[in-house]
Amino acid sequence: MTPKERAEKSAAAMWAGDRASAWVGMEIAAVDEGHAVLTLEIREDHCNGHGIGHGGITFMLADSAFAFACNSRNVATVAQHNTISFLAPVRLGDTLTATATETTLKGRSGITDVTVTNQSGDIIAQFRGASRALGHPIFED
């Protein structure tokens, strides 16, 4: 199995049980080893009292992209901690793209950076996640 095939199979296994990402409307655009791209169209129920996209929705999209990237090797992996910087507002009707790239993997610990952009390519948020591998597979080879 190639690394890309393993990443795609891991993503499919995770997606099958990921009620939250599907519920909010996310879609997986691409996965590969240490990499994932997810998209989300901003709906009315994603907006806050200021009439802009709720930061928690942007964080959730980035966190899901992070999860698919750091679980791409068929080793169950969870977040240790995450940070996000919101750089521009999200508007109703925007299509957000979260691109996650694993930058460091040492033993059971990893660092993954996620850039969230809108349909114009404007950077909306920068997210950094620290991961910890649990050591068991997501699916049986």
Q: What is the pLDDT of residue 14?
A: 95
β-partners of residue 128 are: 83, 113
pLDDT given for residue 135 in this prediction? 87
Percent of the chain past pLDDT 70, that is, above it, reads 100
The pTM (predicted TM-score) of the whole model is: 0.95
Reference 130, options 90, 78, 84; nearest CA is: 78
| Mean of pLDDT over the chain | 96
Confidence of residue 59 (pLDDT cuts 50, 70, 90): very high
Q: Where are the domains of the chain?
A: 3-133
The architecture (CATH level 2) of 3-133 comes to Roll (3.10)
In this prediction, residue 116 carries a pLDDT of 98
